[in-house]
Structures are given as C-alpha cells and as structure tokens.
Chains A and B, each alone.
Chain A
Amino acid sequence: MNQMTPPPKRPDREYAVTAFAGLDAVERPIPAWERIWNQGWVRKVVLIVLLAIVWEGYGRFLDNELLFPTFSATVEALLANLANGVLPNRAATSIKVLLMGYTIGVSLAMLLSVAAINTRIGNDLLETLTSMFNPLPAIALLPLALLWFGLGNGSLVFVLVHSVLWVVALNTHAGFRGVSPTLRMVGRNYGLRGFRYVVAILIPAAFPSILTGLKVGWAFAWRTLIAAELVFGVASGAGGLGWFIFENKNQLEIPSVFAGLLTVILIGLAVENLVFRTVEARTVRRWGMQH
C-alpha cells in the first residue's frame, strides 16, 4: 500500500480580474433567421403550408372531385361561399349558439367547483355527477333534448352545456385542490373569506388547470355543436355550419363540404392562437406558472 503523505503546502494566491469594457464582449445578438424561426407562428404556418401542398398533391393524383377535392378547389368553394354571404351567415349562427352554451356551461362549472372546494357534500356531488355524466356523449342526449326543448336553439344549448360543464368542472376542481397550502394560508392571513377568497386566491392560483379545462371544453363544444347540427339540421331557417355541410353533401357539392370543414378548422385555429394564446401569455406565462 502506498504511504499516506500529507498534501503539499501551497501559498495563498490572488488574481486580478479582467474588466470587460462593454456589453458587446459578453452578449451577442442572435442571427436574424434564427430569431424568425424562434417565432412559434412562423413554424406553424410553415407546417400548415406543407400540409396544404400534400393535400393538393393527393387531390390531383386522385382526380376525383366527389371523393376528395383538391385544396385549390376547396379554397375556391370557400371564397365563393364567403362572397355570397352564406358561409359567414352559417358560421355566425353556430358561434352564437356555441357562445351561449359555453358561457352557461362554464358558469355552472364554476359554481359546482366552488361548492366542491368549500364543502364536503359539494365535493361528493361534483365527483358523483362528473363520474355519471362525463362519459355520456352529448349527442346521446339530443333526442331527449329535442323532446324537452323542441327543434330550436334550446336543444342545442342544452347539449352544449352538457358537453362543457363536466370537463371544465373537473379541471377547475383539480386546479383548486392543487393550490399550495402556503398560498391558502396567505389568503386567510389577509382575512379573505368565501367569494373574495375564491376570486382573489383560488382562481388565479388554479389558473393553469382552469385554462386547460376551458380549452378542452371549447373543443368539446365545437364537436358537439357540429354533430348536433348535422343530425337535426335547421331550426327556423337559420342553420349553422353543420347544416351547411349536411346540405352540400346532399347536393354533392363536395368542395363546399370541405370548405365547411375548413371553416370549422379555421375558427378553431383562430380561437386557439388568438384568444387562448393571448390569455395564456398575459396570465400563466407572465406569472411564471407555465413555461
């Protein structure tokens, strides 16, 4: 075995530190193309353009407008229907009903989750109701809704509320339960109670989950609405987008069917990227709760 020798004795040393004159020596700008590519929307637009090219190519290869119209034919039909005012009209009808159902659904979900976080029986109520109704497809309730509310917006709103309520309530409740005990104590330290406590502490602290719930609820609402409109079509002469798709399918105007579907997609993209993204940027990202 080697002998244990103590480490050598070394003198104390001091060094002079180089002073950097300006920021230039330490910081460098990112090249322009990299800055552009760092923008999320640029990358997404590139992806969408690529998808459109694939679509166009496949459509031309198939060469059957009744089965799969090309991207250009779809855009043509879209522009024609936009110009004659049919599509904007239908879209407006759909969005109006959608917003009505969505607002009511979200409000009810908030009430339910606040009751659930404050009382044990409210918690049981929420858990029982969501496990009962969340798996139930909204469309399955449509026949009943038609019976109760007749052929009209009432039925649509009813199924929309059903499709939004449970998923938003589940996410909101999960968010409330995930609020850190320290933040809860801070809120109570300020003397906040009841409604003010929920608004000032719980909702902002649970906002990432709530936002996810709102997004999923929005998507569910769209699906349900289009499906419901396809099934029972027009009410009082003012059909929505689903009706538009159904009508054009019956007339074998397949490019217009695609144009209808494309409109649904475009509205979805717009809401996700303009509304939800803005809300996210102004809230959870800014607060450092989500990255």
Chain B
Amino acid sequence: MSESFEPLLDVRGVTLQYRTAQRIVTATHRVSFSVFPADRFVLLGPSGCGKSSLLKAVAGYLDPVEGEFHLRGRQIKNPGPDRMMVFQEFDQLLPWKTVQENITFPLLSTKRLPKAEARERAAYYIDKVGLSAFAGAYPHTLSGGMKQRVAIARGMAMEPEILLMDEPFAALDALTRRTMQDELLRLWDDTKFTVLFVTHSINEAIKVGNRILLLSPHPGQVRAELDSLPREDPDPAALLGLERHIHDMLFA
C-alpha cells in the first residue's frame, strides 16, 4: 500500500565506518529503509548496532563509505536545517541565549522568517511544550526535562522535512520520560510531523513509533522492520507479545 507513496527519506545500502587511531570499525553494514511522510519511524537496537551513527549520517555529520541517503530525492551531503536534530545531551541549547532566543536563532540565521514572525512562531511552540512562563529564562536555570522540551520546540519551530531524535529522553528520570513520550505523541497529533527516533528501549519504541526498524549489533544490520501497535487500545497481551517477539529477535 505504501508503495504508491514517495518515500520522504530513502536509505539505500548504507555502510558506515569509524576511523580510530588504530583501526577502522564498521558501525553499520548495508542498511536500507524508507521513511514516509508523517511516519514516527524508530531505529531500535542494543548499543553497538550503529543506530546513532545512522541518525548522525542522516543528519549529515557522517559520510557513508557505501550507499546513499536521499531526502525527497536529493542526496544528503552536509548538515542542514531541513533535518533538525534533537540530541540526548542537555547541553544542546546555546547557554548564552534565552529559551525564546534559542528557538528564534535558527529561524533568523537561516532567514526562514523575519524577526516578528520568528518571535510569534517561537511563542507558539513554547506554548505547545508548556514553557510559556520560562520564555525569558536561560537554559542553565531549567531542569533536564524542560531543556529537552525546548530542544523539541526548537526542532519543530523550524518545521523541518524530518525531525531527528537521538535518544532524546534517555537521560531523563523514568517519570519525566513517560510524560515526555506522551507529550511528543500529542504534538504529533497536532501537526503530523515526520520523525526518525533512535532508542534502545523496546518499550519506548512500541509506545512512540508507528514503524520500527530492528538492528542487530556488530556491525549494525537490519533484523526486521515491523509495525508498532495501534496507540488507541493498548491491549496488554498484544503489547507483551510484541515486546517478547522483538526481544527474541534481538537477543536470540
């Protein structure tokens, strides 16, 4: 069915390698997948499966030694604001800018919007992530969860072709993580953006994603690509079944 659509992001036979002082390490081996508009596409796998490397390569920080990345038919070569990244680290916000300025800065520096409109859009997304009271605050005064919210708002305000999220909730405490997952889904319900999401948590993958790519480690290879469960009725038996199925594929 999805074959009739054009994929938004097309990853074809990508091999990624790291070069350290002593050796060359293969992070992924001939990985292929396609992400379609409004997908919540999850890259899932244990550490060492190259999922973060894949995301960094989609972002343009890493060149593949084999294979190609195409975004709407154009080959990806450099980092750019059409693929906004949300990192795991809390230090991804510019400490010398307030919450609002952090969101308007990329809008202004890429000349997407004039000043007044950039401010308006920033205010809109700050409100969406529930941080209106902190628009003038500097990042160091915020908690980890709030910083990640700002990073997500910054990414969404740019309205990129695809939002790239590199384990954005991994450094949060369990309670905040669950709230953030719910918030992300709520934001998606509003704007139906496309997101490529990296995680090592099976539970998070099923909850956040609609489509899951399983990667096996050393080097990363595609093990499976599956649909997640429908969000509306979380049938406990089906959830447990899918979790176990994924677990078995990854560790058997």
Contacts and interface: CB of A to CB of B under 8 A. Distances in A.
Nearest to B80: A191
A190 B81 contact: yes
Given A191-B80, A287-B140, A288-B138, A182 B105 contact: no
11 contacts: A183-B94, A185-B87, A186-B94, A188-B78, A190-B106, A192-B109, A196-B109, A205-B94, A205-B95, A288-B141, A289-B95
Given A189-B83, A288-B141, 16 more contacts: A182-B89, A182-B91, A183-B92, A185-B79, A185-B85, A185-B87, A189-B59, A189-B85, A190-B106, A191-B81, A204-B95, A204-B96, A287-B96, A287-B138, A287-B140, A288-B95
Interface in A167-184: 180, 182-183
Interface string A116-156: 00000000000000000000000000000000000000000
Interface in B64-101: 78-81, 83-85, 87, 89, 91-92, 94-96
Considering residues A182, A189, A192, A288, which has the most beta carbons from chain B within 10 angstroms of its beta carbon? Answer: A189
Interface of B: 59-61, 78-81, 83-85, 87, 89, 91-92, 94-96, 105-106, 109-110, 138-141
A197 to B, nearest CB: 10
For the complex of A and B, 8 pairs with smallest distance between CB atoms: A288-B140, A188-B79, A287-B95, A204-B96, A190-B106, A182-B89, A287-B96, A182-B92
A283 B140 CA distance: 13
- Interface of A, secondary structure class, is helix
B110 A191 contact: yes
A283 B87 contact: no
A188 B83 CA distance: 11
Interface of A: 180, 182-183, 185-186, 188-192, 196, 200-201, 204-205, 207, 283, 286-289
Contacts of A186: 85, 87, 92, 94
A65 B138 CA distance: 56
Contacts of B78: 188
A182 B110 CA distance: 19
A121 to B, nearest CB: 20
Contacts, number: 66
Considering residues A180, A188, A190, A288, which has the most beta carbons from chain B within 10 angstroms of its beta carbon? Answer: A190
Contacts of A188: 60-61, 78-79
Given A180-B89, A182-B87, A204-B96, A189 B140 contact: no
Nearest to B102: A186
A196 B84 CA distance: 19
Nearest to A196: B109
Contacts of B94: 183, 186, 201, 204-205
A96 B84 CA distance: 48
Contacts of A204: 94-96
Contacts of A182: 87, 89, 91-92
Contacts of A180: 89, 91
Contacts of A283: 96
Contacts of B61: 185, 188
Contacts of B96: 204-205, 207, 283, 287, 289
Contacts of B139: 288
A186 B60 CA distance: 12
A191 B79 contact: yes
